[in-house]
Structure 1
Amino acid sequence: MIAYHPSLRDRQLLGLKDMGAAELQSILKRAAYWEAHEEKRIPVLEHRFIANMFFENSTRTRFSFEMAQKRLGSQVLNFAAAASSVEKGESVYDTVRTLESMGIDAGVIRLKPIGVLEELAKHVKVPLINAGDGNNEHPTQALLDLYTMQKQFGEIRGLTVSIVGDIKHSRVARSNLWALKALGANVKFCAPHSMQAAELEEHAPYVTMDEALDADVVMMLRVQLERHAEGVLKSADEYRAQYGLTTQRAAKMKPHAIIMHPAPVNRDVEIDSELVEAPNSRIFPQMQNGVPIRMAVVERALR
C-alpha cells in the first residue's frame, strides 16, 4: 500500500474561507476524539518542536495552544515579540525563518497586519497555524465555536446564528461566517453602522437587535470603542443601551437558544455580567473546547 503524505498546504491552517464541509467536520470529529481521552498527556508528538510566535498579545489563545501542544507531548517554544529581536527591528519574516532554521516542526503565529501570514507561508517549509491575523481570520476560534454549537444541537446545518458587535474589526466574525456557511447554517449580523463591514453584507444580512435575538445562537463580540472615536456611539453605556445583550433582551431569546462570546468579555457593555454564566451561556465551555480543537489542529499539522 502506498502511504499518503499530505502536502504542506493541507497541513497548515491559515483560514477557513476556502475550507470545505468535509475538512471542517474531520477536525471537529478529531477534537471529539481527543476530548474523550481522560489522560492529561497523550505523547503522540513527543519528538516534535512547536514554536508559538505571538507578535500580538494574547492570553486565552496562547495558553490554550500551549496546553494542547503539551497534552500531545510536544516540545514547546514560546516567543513573545516584546522580548525579542523584533523590538530591535528584525522583520517578522526573518524571525520565523530563524526559528525554522533552528529546527522547529511547526509554528503557531499571531500577527496584527493582514496579508503577512499568507506571504510567510509561501516561503517557509514548516506548517503554520493562524492564531489570529489582524481583522482577517481567527480559524481556531471559529472551530471551537462550531464544536460548541455541534455539541449543543447535534448538527450545525439549519441553525440560525446571529453575530452581534464590531463586525468591521472582527476576525472571529469572518472565520465564523465562512465556516458556518460551509456547514449549512444561516448567519445574520447586527452592528452599529460604524462597526459594519460592507463587503460581508452579500454573505450575511445586517439586521436589527430584535431580529438578531430570533436565533438559535446569539454570539456577542467584544467591542473596542476606542476604535470608533468618530462613530455614533461614544460611550459604553450608550453601546449597551442599543446593542448590548441585557437581561431584558436575553428574556426574548428562544427557550433553546444559547449565548456565546469569544472573550475577553466587557461585562455590562456588550453583555450583562449576570448573563456570562447564565444557564444558557456557553462562554466558559467555549474556552474549554479550545483545547481539544487545538489538539486536533496541531496533530493535523504534524501528522
Structure 2
Amino acid sequence: MTQTNGTERMQHLLTLDGLPRAQLIELLDRAQQFADGHVDRAALAGTAVCTLFFEPSTRTRMSFQLAAQRLGADVLNFDVSTSSARKGETARDTLRNLEAMGMSGFVVRHQDDGAVAALAESAEPGTALINAGDGRSAHPTQGLLDMLTLRQAKGGDFSRLKVLIVGDVRHSRVARSDLHALRTLGATEGGQGIEIRVCGPQSLLPQDHTLDGCIVSHDLDAALEGVDAVMMLRLQRERMEEGLISSLDEYHRDYGLTQSRLRRAANDAVVLHPGPINRGVEITDEVADGPQSLILRQVANGVAVRMAVLERVLRR
C-alpha cells in the first residue's frame, strides 16, 4: 500500500519502512517547530479526525487527540467497547460509515498485523489514515518521536551513534519502527554509520530479517559498553506464548536496566522507553526517574510529532 498519492504528497502514514530520508527529516523538523511553540491553531479547522482504536492506549490516543485539537480539528473518539464492533461490524464497515458522516482523517490502532494498510486500501480517495500501532508490525509515530527525542539529546548526525535496543523485540512494533528510522537516519554513503545493537533472550528476538545489520547479543552488560542511547522495551506478555521467559525475576536479573549497569554506557548516555513501564522488570525506578532518562520528554514530543503528521496528511 503506497503512502503517497500521484503527486507524491503523503496521503497516509502506515510505516517508516521505506520512507525517504528527506521526508523523515522534514517531519522531525516540523515537529521541532511545534515543540518550540510555533503552532497554527487553525491549520486543520473544519477537518474531522477520528481516533479509531481497537486496542487500549493511553499515551498514543491522548496525544493524538491533543495534537488534533491544537491544530483546530474536530475530534471524534471511537470506543470499541460501546461500538457496533461488539455486534460484529467489521473494521472496514466502521470506517466506511464514519467516512459517510464526513470524517476525513483516521488514527487507527489494531491488534492485527497489516490491518491499517488494509483499511487504507478500502478508504475513499480523500481519506487519510495514520497507523497508531498494528499488531507487531509498525508504530511509525512512536518511531518518529523516539528519533526527535534522540536528535534533541545527541544532535542531527546519527551516523556516529551507538544505540542499544533491549528486550522483547519479537513482539514490539515500536522496535521495528525505531530500527527503520535509525537505519535511514544513520546511514552514510560509504556503508558505515550508526551502530545498532540489540540485546535480549533468544526467545524474545525475531527470527526473520528484522535484525539484519544489527549487532545481536544476549549479554546486557557487554552490550551496554560505550553506548550513547539505550532503548528499553516492555515485556509484552499479552502477545506472548507461555514459556518464552522463565520468570519476571530472572528476566530482571539478566535484562533489567539498573543504575549500576547503566554506568557501562557512555557517561552522557540517555535512556528511552516507549511505555507503559514495567517498573522492576525491564527498568528500575532510579533509572526511569533518573537524570539520564528521557522518558517523559518522549511523551511530550509525542504531541509535537503527531501534530506534524496530522498536518502533513490532512492539510490541503
TM-score (norm 1): 0.94
* Aligned-partner residue type, residue 157 of structure 1: S
Q: CA deviation at 1:8?
A: 8.3
Counterpart for residue 11 of structure 1: 11
**Cα offsets for 1:108-145 (capped at 9, x unmatched):** 00000012221211110201000000000000001000
Matched residue count: 297
Counterpart for residue 246 of structure 1: 258
* Aligned-partner residue type, residue 12 of structure 1: H
Q: CA deviation at 1:61?
A: 0.3
Q: Which portions of structure 1, spanning 4 or more consecutive aligned residues, are displaced by more than 6 angstroms?
A: none
Pairing 1:118–2:121 present: no
1:76-225 equivalences in 2 (<5 Å): 76-125=75-124, 126-155=127-156, 156-184=158-186, 185-199=194-208, 200-207=210-217, 208-214=219-225, 215-225=227-237
Indicate the SS of the match to 2:122: coil
Q: CA deviation at 1:212?
A: 2.4
* Aligned-partner residue type, residue 135 of structure 2: G
* Aligned-partner residue type, residue 88 of structure 2: G
- Structure 1: stretches of 5+ with no match in the other structure: none
* Aligned-partner residue type, residue 143 of structure 1: L
**Cα offsets for 1:196-224 (capped at 9, x unmatched):** 10212323231231232131110100013
- Structure 2: stretches of 5+ with no match in the other structure: 187-193
Counterpart for residue 247 of structure 2: 235
Counterpart for residue 289 of structure 1: 301
Given the superposition, is the C-alpha separation of residues 9 and 87 from structure 1 closer, same or farther in structure 2, using an over 3 Å criterion? farther
* Greater mean alpha carbon deviation, residues 182-191 or residues 72-81: 182-191
- Return the alpha-carbon distance in structure 1 between the equivalents of residues 9 and 57 of structure 2: 26
- Return the alpha-carbon distance in structure 2 between the equivalents of residues 9 and 118 of structure 1: 17
- Return the alpha-carbon distance in structure 1 between the equivalents of residues 222 and 20 of structure 2: 29
**Cα offsets for 1:147-190 (capped at 9, x unmatched):** 00100111123211111000100000000001100111322111
Given the superposition, is the C-alpha separation of residues 9 and 57 from structure 1 closer, same or farther in structure 2, using an over 3 Å criterion? farther
**Cα offsets for 1:31-63 (capped at 9, x unmatched):** 011112266x72211111001100111011000
Q: CA deviation at 1:274?
A: 1.4
Contact 2:258 2:286 in 1 (8 A): no
Q: RMSD in angstroms over aligned alpha carbons? A: 1.6
Contact 1:225 1:236 in 2 (8 A): no
* Aligned-partner residue type, residue 97 of structure 2: T
Indicate the SS of the match to 2:159: coil
